[in-house]
Copies of this chain bind each other. A is one copy, B any other.
């Protein structure tokens, strides 16, 4: 009975999107559930997946917020 919590920044990564799309959520849920079945034999019905989106300025890395960190490191969104 696995429980999986996925936290991502709230931003668009698909064309034209400003947040995680319904299609992406479905793909994450199916992919994680398939993975737990393949690796550990966990039945799909016993796996819960919860996806949280976090505002960009509420996520920190490198001692600064994500937007500041990306500007500093020239890192692409991710």
Which residues of A are interface residues toward B (Cβ below 8 A)? 1-9, 13-14, 20, 22, 24-36, 38-54, 57-66, 68, 75-78
What are 19 sample pairs from A and B whose C-beta atoms fall under 8 A apart? A1-B66, A1-B78, A3-B7, A8-B40, A20-B40, A22-B65, A24-B39, A25-B58, A26-B65, A27-B38, A28-B39, A29-B64, A32-B32, A32-B60, A43-B76, A44-B62, A45-B61, A47-B63, A50-B58
Does the CB pair A41–B60 fall under 8 Å? no
Q: A2 contacts which chain B residues (CB < 8 A)?
A: 6-8
Number of copies of chain A assembled together: 6
Closest to A66 in B: B1
